[in-house]
Chain A
């Protein structure tokens, strides 16, 4: 067991390198996915049937063809068409397009569930179309969509574990290296715990974003208030306020 920890200490810098690759893929993929989700999500609500149909078709296509197939398409097939992208770009493209298509459905659904009265109010205030969306509708939809987006973010983190097949030395790849020096239970135990901790931190960040989004809509406490430990006095004051 002691030699296991020595091997771990020795391999730690490489594991951190792998972790960095995993994080780059997750965060890069998440940013791309968010852009795609907003574009396709808004696009699938357009009146123009051609554009709307196109957005829906893109969504269904990327949702239906499996993440691994898309990654391999970018990595193995595109070079044959004369477009050889770096492995990292292929990874981010594959993750971003696949989960962007899933998240687009969340964006569309959340925007649809903003109450009609809000739309009517923006008309009554003669806001422009972009003002309507940016200042009134999207902030409310954003608060609704965060829990589902969190799920997809975790899915994306888990999906990155396949990228050693497109030559990227991520956390899973270095786990395999560590296994050769230690044993299966130790190496994969360490790796699973690291993945779990990252997933947990990402969930906490997303929960904080949700608290903030709700507070900005005038619902719930601010992030600062939520993070301050409650002393008996403040708790009593809050109880008094509620009553």
Chain B
């Protein structure tokens, strides 16, 4: 038990880590990314369609959420909604926090749509709604796909923050195992390896996607 690396401990902790990985880490990443993607787009469009003072308020709230720690936001929501399951709180808080980043990405994407496209929708006397959904958003979204992917990875690596509100995600599972067996080496190292194995190939894929989308324009 005193060696540097104990394979028995490693094999004992691995199933627990993988279970937490699938049941919490992946679920949170996927659902929160979905929330962030949709809510972020909603915020970006809302900000461009309301009068300036209201838009300024929305921008300020977005900045406030983006510039304060997600850990504090998680704890805040946890203590405020004690009856709601921590995992659900985690998914929603991660989704809202990252939606403020996504809103910026969408804004840049929408700004990059040439003015001629807007003029064309006017020339075709499209309604505002149809101009957004049929012309502007599809073109704006294209450039934002890689950024969404990068934020999904960054969210994935932030999921251990969930342990502050008692969600047993991968790192929490590892810590519990480490505490019970007086060996943290294998559990923490394996958790890191799983993060690396999942995030590195994904980030390579995203940077390839980014290059392809850039060329096709």
| A interface, CB within 8 angstroms of B | 60-61, 64-70, 72-73, 76-77, 80-81, 154, 157-162, 165, 172, 175-176, 179, 184-185, 188, 191-192, 195-196, 199-200, 203
Contact = CB atoms under 8 A, between A and B. Distances in A.
Interface stretch (B42-50, B114-122, B189-197): B189-197
Interface centre among A66, A68, A165, A196 (most CB of B within 10 A): A68
Contact of B160 (A60, A69, A158, A192): A69
B191 A172 contact: no
A175 B71 CA distance: 12
A77 B175 CA distance: 11
A66 B200 CA distance: 11
Across the A-B interface, the 8 shortest Cβ-Cβ residue pairs? A68-B160, A161-B69, A161-B71, A65-B192, A188-B76, A76-B184, A64-B196, A199-B67
B183 A69 contact: no
B149 interface: no
13 contacts: A64-B200, A65-B196, A66-B195, A68-B171, A69-B188, A69-B195, A76-B178, A81-B185, A162-B160, A165-B163, A172-B72, A175-B72, A199-B67
Contacts of B72: 161, 172, 175, 188, 191-192, 195
Given A64-B199, A68-B160, A192-B64, A76 B188 contact: yes
A158 B70 contact: yes
Interface of B: 4, 64, 67-73, 75-76, 79-80, 157-158, 160-161, 163-164, 171, 174-175, 178, 183-185, 188-189, 191-193, 195-196, 199-200, 203
Contact of A72 (B67, B184, B195): B184
Nearest to B175: A72
Contacts of B75: 172, 175-176, 188
Contacts of B189: 73, 77
Contacts of A165: 163-164
Contacts of B195: 64-66, 69
